[in-house]
């Protein structure tokens, strides 16, 4: 897994609407990358629904969420609509898992990302990371708020 203090690897991926989104688009803003295995699994649905419930609180801390999985952008759109969430979902589809690999979040044996969180500061440096011990364990929203408390809004 990428370490705090390292520069965040750049990327350009398609969002749920098929639009290209680059890490550089967020320069000057803090973001939290939410790597998750894939759309439409019950655990992933639970994770993203939980984050949606606290998304406004996270935004008040000056942080924007971006979900990333190996699914195509068409699947992301359907998943987003099914859950009723507005978190942008990015397709790490082709080459499959390239961004997850760059961040050290990809599990080769199963062909998808682990549940991993990467907080990136406004200058593009990794502030904090969390890697779940297994893709079946959801990193709770409390972990995010604990990290934001440690690093504060001006980190």
Residues involved in catalysis: 44
Locate the DSSP E strands across the chain.
12-15, 20-22, 30-35, 63-69, 89-91, 106-107, 112-113, 116-120, 126-131
Orientation angle between helical segments 141-151 and 42-60, nearest 10 degrees? 30
Which ranges of 8-152 does DSSP label H, i.e. alpha helix? 42-60, 73-83, 98-102, 141-151
């Amino acid at each position: 897994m990428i370490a705090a203090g390292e520069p965040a690897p750049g990327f350009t991926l398609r969002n749920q609407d098929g639009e290209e989104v680059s890490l550089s688009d967020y320069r000057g803003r803090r973001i939290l990358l939410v790597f998750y295995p894939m759309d439409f699994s019950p655990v992933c649905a639970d994770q993203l629904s939980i984050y949606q419930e606290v998304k406004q609180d996270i935004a008040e801390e000056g942080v924007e969420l971006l979900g990333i999985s190996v699914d195509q952008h068409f699947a992301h759109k359907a998943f987003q609509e099914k859950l009723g969430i507005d978190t942008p979902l990015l397709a790490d589809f082709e080459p499959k898992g390239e961004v997850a690999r760059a961040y050290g979040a990809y599990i080769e044996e199963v062909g998808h990302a682990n549940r991993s969180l990467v907080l990136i500061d406004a200058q593009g440096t990794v502030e904090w990371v969390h890697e779940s011990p297994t893709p079946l364990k959801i990193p709770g929203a409390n972990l995010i708020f604990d990290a934001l408390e440690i690093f504060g809004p001006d980190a």
